Structure 1
């Protein structure tokens, strides 16, 4: 279930204005990102292969790179594996990832405003929190009873 979309981004016009063709593969891959919300390249590939079995992993990786260069998708590292991509439509956000249940939550960048303002004021550093992932434990997992010892 996606938590953001391209409602306010005319990605077709953006591709054309930058000299890129609007290929069926690009459209399928962007559509997959929109539908999946947050997805690794392998998840995008599996989703797209349901429609077009001839698409391959290198096409997905190259297309994701182009789409990120154009500012239509971003990636975050939600694990120690492949990056996870999401569309930039909707709101700018960072991620919270529960180490126990694996839930990923998108959080508006304003929540981190005190931190980013402090980094700027004290260190002259402007943070790009769109790539930020904070790992921890969610409220539900913290409230869950401890498993009985074996």
Structure 2
């Protein structure tokens, strides 16, 4: 039995094929919206509907198995909690998303956080702006 399966059971939840498929889809897709997760799950099973995907994503996020970030003004984007914790830089012009490791973000924000007595949640941090490619393009 794996760690995520143990965590699910220890929290009083059943281990279901649907939950496993949703978790696997998030891990395979990297950053994905609920609709993208649903489309990936549907490639393997027609029996999983969108409401099941939403409920499962919420449960997995509550358990700390996945994380969500708001990379657009639409649905949240989910990614695996395994691997490195990171923040996101999102270009408002082209939509490019760059993941920035916690260490780099912490170095930049530590003085500000300390000055205000604040403990940032780096995994949910998203900074919107303009990427270097879009900044270099002449305006029309």
With structure 2 as the length reference, what TM-score do the two structures score?
0.90
Shift of 1:75: 0.6
For 1:84 and 1:121, how far apart are their aligned partners in 2? 29
Q: What is the rounded CA distance, in whole Å, between the counterparts of 1:87 and 1:125 in structure 2?
A: 25
Question: Which position in structure 1 is the counterpart of 2:100?
Answer: 107
CA offset digits 1:97-133 (Å, max 9, x no partner): 1112211111101112244422442211111121111
Q: Deviations over 1:67-92 (max 9, x none)?
A: 01110011110111011111111000
**1:1-150 superposed matches below 5 A:** 10-146=3-139
Helix, strand or coil for the counterpart of 2:48?
Answer: coil
- Pairwise CA RMSD: 1.6
Unaligned segments of structure 2, at least 5 residues? none
Cα distance in 1 for residues equivalent to 2:114 and 2:73? 32
Structure 1: gaps of 5 or more residues: 1-8
Number of corresponding residues: 139
Deviating more after overlay: 45-54 vs 115-124? 115-124
- Structure 2 SS opposite 1:21: coil
Alpha-carbon separation, structure 2, partners of 1:83 and 1:13:
26
Deviations 1:25-68 (CA, angstroms, capped at 9, x unpaired): 00100011011101111111111111111211110111011101
**SS of equivalent residue, structure 1 residue 61:** helix
Q: Relative contact order (alpha carbons < 8 A, sep ≥ 6): 1 or 2 greater? A: 1
Instruction: Give the alignment's TM-score, normalised by structure 1.
Output: 0.85
Q: Alignment partner of 1:106: what SS?
A: strand
